[in-house]
Amino acid sequence: MDVLGQLAAGFGVILTPANLYYCFLGSLVGTLVGVLPGIGPLAALSLLLPFTFTLPPVASLVMLAAIFYGAMYGGSTTSILVNIPGEAASVVTCLDGHEMAKQGRAGAALGIAAIGSFIAGTLSNIGLTLFSPVLVAVALRFGPPEYFAIMILGFVMTLYMVAGSALKAMVMLALGVFLSTVGMDIVNGAERFTFGSVNLAGGFDLVPVVMGLFGVSEILLNVEQFARGEVFSRRIRRLLPTFRDWLDSWAPILRGSFLGFGLGVLPGGGPVTASFLSYAVERRLSRRPERFGHGAIEGVAGPESANNAAVAGSMIPLLSLGLPSNAVTALLLGALIIQGVQPGPMLMVQRPEIFWGVIASLYVGNVMLLILNLPLIGLWVQLLRVPYRILFPCVLLLTVIGTYSVNHNVFDVWVMIGFGLAGYVVRKLGYELAPLVLAMVLGPLLEQALRQSLIMSSGNPAIFMTRPIAATIVLLAAALAAVLVLRGKRLALAAQPTVEGSS
């Protein structure tokens, strides 16, 4: 079939003043909402969902999709500026992005995040346009054993991203897995670690935990340190990435794009996993991994590209299978169904104007977001001039609102406070919190895939080795783990008590 012809028809659908307007509106709202801590794409979409009811289907989807990736663009902003992730996929961006900002290179970090996102988004759209049917066929071959293998690989890769003490990282990983098991057992509904509490029965949501560990603890650390004056003593240097930055970034952006796209296609992966793995890969491949955590631009370029690529990737199972791979695409699915559009293999046949229109809008939206975000960098950087004594109460209030709005439950605010205090203490002791977040995301997927697989095989673990895809991935993970163990001694001993936070 003539893909390009159909894509052109899709552009014909999109390039009307009304649709362009909604695309722009979505990009703008998504960016602004993504910037607010605690209010990620999910909250943004659910807030604006009712508004789109009154729009025609194409306009409504174009706008919602634009909000989604607009929020991914915006999510990195607070990570870089105030070290508080706008949403979970931007957690890793804090590691080097904020360091860059402290060195006066906030503009470069924001710039590379926007441009990397643009390149990754566009490349993934091309992948989406050309290879959708093939990728769907591949994704369908991934059953529970294959997912289990992927999750194992994810955990092994996480160990590569750790800069400080390996023991501390292990504790954080295990803690993340443990936290993810609190609440109802996903397989048999048994209550675990709830102690009869209604609130704990639902388990810990990611948003309050992330807002506590990163938002509240960051504010506590800063309030303690900055007796008066500002977070950034140095002057802000140039706003755009330098030639040197480009040299460092182009490869991470490309790798991040591929990694993110691939993970996005697979249900369960999504932007969070993609950004973490990209960071781990970049650190592993870097000739000077010691720069990571101290303002390495690759640590911003890779993950930010990966999470945007994952957004485009996750459109494939959504549009072709009607399968949402994360909470955000689940919401998009709801929006489609409200519009009377049934995603699935027939969408391309029955409603080509919607299928290709949405894909065309992804291209257009990416261009818009780039144009929108580059000038905004100047504005965001000015935000750093706001005295911290004024900035932090506002940010604190925003995190409370964001956390509360997830479930409309004050219990989540308590969770945030608790994790804020805990995060403050362990960060002072040189623990890295990013692995905990990843473990919380991957933990339930890992457990479910493991138990599903063994139920399918009546308890026989050979299922992971008899299926070619699963076996390949498991072997790869084992090899990577072996390398790690061989180098491990050196790594564990060389681990200095990191200066992070406590200096």
Q: Binding residue for another protein (CB under 8 A) from 3, 55, 126, 184? A: 184
Site for another protein in 225-254 (CB under 8 A): 225-228
CB of 41 to another protein, least distance (A): 11
Residues touching another protein: how many (CB under 8 A)?
117
Residue 283 tokens, joined = 């650190």
Residue 92 amino acid letter: V
Under 8 Å CB-to-CB from 101, ≥6 apart: which residues?
A: 80, 81, 109, 232, 384
Site for another protein in 373-432 (CB under 8 A): 388-390, 392-394, 396-398, 400-401, 404-410, 413-414, 416-417, 420-421, 424-426, 428-429
Binding track over 199-218 against another protein, x by CB under 8 A: x-xxx-x----------x--
Of the candidates 437, 445, 435, the residue with the CA atom closest to the CA atom of residue 207: 437
Residue closer to another protein, measured from CB, 295 or 435: 435
3 state DSSP class of 192? strand
CA separation for the pair 306, 263 (Å, rounded)? 9
Beta bridge partners of 192: 183
CB of 131 to another protein, least distance (A): 18
Q: 52 near 294, Cβ under 8 Å?
A: no
DSSP class of 241: -
CB of 459 to another protein, least distance (A): 5
Under 8 Å CB-to-CB from 151, ≥6 apart: which residues?
A: 442, 445, 446, 449
Site for another protein in 154-183 (CB under 8 A): 165, 167-168, 170-171, 173-175, 177-178, 181, 183
CA separation for the pair 450, 190 (Å, rounded)? 17
Residue 437 amino acid letter: V
Site for another protein in 444-463 (CB under 8 A): 446-448, 450-456, 458-459
CB of 261 to another protein, least distance (A): 19
Residue closer to another protein, measured from CB, 242 or 407: 407
What is the DSSP code string of 270-308? HHHHHHHHHHHHHHHH-S-GGGTTS--THHHHHHHHHHH
Torsion of CA 25, 49, 411, 219, to 10 degrees: -10
Beta bridge partners of 191: 184
Site for another protein in 55-114 (CB under 8 A): none
Site for another protein in 281-340 (CB under 8 A): 317, 321-324, 327, 330-335, 337-338, 340
Residue closer to another protein, measured from CB, 252 or 317: 317
CA separation for the pair 355, 347 (Å, rounded)? 7
Residue closer to another protein, measured from CB, 301 or 415: 415
Q: Binding residue for another protein (CB under 8 A) from 15, 18, 21, 350? A: 350
465 interacts with another protein by CB under 8 A: no
Q: Binding residue for another protein (CB under 8 A) from 49, 239, 469, 484? A: 49
- Options 141-149, 305-313, 374-382, 482-490: segment touching another protein (CB under 8 A): 141-149
Residue closer to another protein, measured from CB, 140 or 247: 140
487 interacts with another protein by CB under 8 A: no
Of the candidates 260, 256, 267, the residue with the CA atom closest to the CA atom of residue 138: 267
466 interacts with another protein by CB under 8 A: no
DSSP class of 89: G
What is the DSSP code string of 156-187? HHHHHH--S-HHHHHHHHHHHHHHHHSEE-TT
188 interacts with another protein by CB under 8 A: yes
